[in-house]
Structure 1
Amino acid sequence: MADTGAHGSTASGAGAVGTSGAATGGTATAPAVLEVEGLSAAYGPVRALQDVTLRAEHGRITAVLGANGAGKTTLLRTISGLVRPTAGRVLLGGEDVTRAPVEAMVTKGMAHVPEGRGVIAELTVDENLRVGALFRGKVPSEEFDRVYSFFPRIAERRTQTAHTLSGGERQMLVIGRALLARPKVLLLDEPSLGLAPRIVAQIFAMVRHLVDTEGLSVLLVEQNARSALSVADTGVVLNLGRVVVTDDAARLAGDEDLRHAYLGF
């Protein structure tokens, strides 16, 4: 495990994992849909990620937590191919996709919902959803109905242009659009940003429901550590681009020293 010196007692006491991703506490791990091994990335001379190793398992939420500047968003951007790593590799379903073109990631089973709720404002809700399925050709109407069933609020607004939606509704729309790509793993970057606590709770509850009912694997980057840990199965704490600790989400939430040192609550 990287960089445990600042909080080594908590890391070892919490049953942290090493670079293999296998838990030391004896808990069996589910099959990994996504594996990140020794990933490093830089912006010019600035090292943003240093030897990051983690795994996202089938039917589970892995929350990546840390302060601003910890490298969380860079991690997702590097996994999805938007940033090229300087070292390490990314495996998706056992296939090395480290150097795969960004546009190929969707067809291979990865959907990335970046920070900022990037809807296409001039298109209707329904048209925005259809953008998520363009690469698949003709998609049965039942699949759109399925996504609308997850998000009734946007179903009521399917003919409205996206610029009329609230922030929470836009977040639901971009998640729904990603689901139409039928991903194996969903990368979610700061879905709670700028939203009221009630809306955050609704969105996180829906993500949890999708994981439990659809078997989706979710890698969730989130500044709101308390909310993220309440729905996640596993937590990964980053500090200055390094993994500080990886452990069961409930144990991380209960570790007061680690929360105060790295998570701000």
Structure 2
Amino acid sequence: MLAITGLCAGYGPITALDDVTLTAREGEITAVLGANGAGKTTLLRTVSGLHRARSGTVELAGRSLHRVPAERMPGLGMAHVPEGRGVITELTVEENLRLGGLGRGGKVGGDDLDRVYDLFPVLGDRRSALATTLSGGERQMLVVGRALMARPTMLLLDEPSLGLAPRIVAQIFGLVRDLVRADGLTVLLVEQNARSALSVADRGVVLSLGRVVADAPADELAGDEKLRHAYLGF
């Protein structure tokens, strides 16, 4: 589904990604792991068109994304949930969700809303509430739900567990796993909580200082004690 080859990106003199090559296979969760400063968020921002690569290629389902602007990505099947739970607090829950469907073009249907409310019942209960009144966990559910309104085939998730209680983290990760199994969604998951990410991922990629230092099935990475201690902190 997603093929990244020789990707390099940075900020001024700083190199954030150095010859990164990886693939996210269709219908799987690929976890991108590593410490702060490893280049994980830059990777997602570059893939989704928010940051321009210096060199290298990114292909989605065989189509080059070279110079495709971020606003066109939903129409191609890619949705990006950035770090920070960025909801529009002045709008209601339902208004936030409806915005998510605009990127793919066409009318936002009630079926799409009903699907998100089935996945996140708390959002259905609070559909008329202003987003500013939501808890951190509810905001994370809202931004994931908003991304799903675009009916993506490829979902980029950046640190969905950040600042959330373990119970909410387990709920969100379990939902992502269910979506992959039920709908064939492909997920590129950036996460510092390596243990939780590997528990739901099919494959893991470890970044260190902008370079890939490991790429293997998730269970192999979780079982590699030396690599875990060196790069993943558990």
TM-score over 0.5 for the alignment?
A: yes
2:192 partner SS: coil
SS at match of 2:181: helix
The aligned residue for residue 210 of structure 1 is 179
- Give the AA of the match of 2:97: L
- Which residue in 1 is equivalent to 2:193? 224
Q: 2-side partners of 1:192 and 1:231: how far apart?
A: 13
Task: Describe the SS at the equivalent of 2:161.
Answer: coil
Alpha-carbon contact 1:40-1:88 (below 8 Å) kept = yes
Given the alignment, which residue of 89, 107, 111 partners 2:75? 107
Please list the CA deviations of residues 72-115 of structure 1 after superposition, one character each: whole Å capped at 9, or x if unmatched: 00000010111111110100110101211111111111110000
Q: CA deviation at 1:137?
A: 2.5
Contact preservation (8 Å) 1:42, 1:48: yes
Show the counterpart of 1:68. 36
Q: Is the 8 A contact 1:125 1:159 kept in 2?
A: yes
Per the TM alignment, residue 246 of structure 1 is displaced from its structure 2 partner at its CA by 0.4
Q: Residue 123 of structure 1: SS of its match in structure 2? A: coil
1:62-211 paired onto structure 2 within 5 Å: 62-135=30-103, 136-211=105-180
Distance 1:134 1:246 in 2: 35
Paired letter, 1:196: A
Return the offset for 1:218.
Answer: 0.3
Match of 1:14 in 2: none
> Distance in 1 between the 2:193 and 2:66 partners?
29
Conserved? CA contact 1:113–1:188, under 8 Å: yes
Instruction: Give me the whole-angstrom Cα distance separating, in 2, the residues matched to 1:70 and 1:55.
Output: 18
8 Å CA contact 1:79, 1:98 repeated in 2:
no
- Shift in Å, 1:222: 0.2
SS at match of 1:68: coil
The amino acid across from 1:94 in the alignment is G
**Identical-residue share of aligned pairs (%):** 69
Residue 261 of structure 1 aligns with which residue? 230
**Residue equivalent to 2:18:** 50
Distance 1:115 1:220 in 2: 11
**Which runs of no fewer than 5 residues in structure 2 stay unpaired?**
none
Q: How far did 1:245 drift?
A: 0.7
| Secondary structure in structure 2 of the residue aligned to 1:132 | helix
Opposite residue 210 of structure 1, the aligned amino acid is L
Alignment RMSD (CA, Å): 0.8
1:133-167 deviation digits (Å, cap 9, x = unpaired) = 12322122111101111111211111111111110
Structure 2 CA distance for aligned equivalents of residues 102 and 231 of structure 1: 28
Q: Which runs of 5+ in 1 are unaligned?
A: 1-32
Is the counterpart of residue 36 in structure 1 residue 36 in structure 2? no
| Cross-structure match for 1:5 | none
Counterpart CA distance in 2 for 1:39 and 1:173 is 31
Structure index of larger Rg? 1
Equivalent-residue separation in structure 2 for 1:76 and 1:117 (angstroms): 15
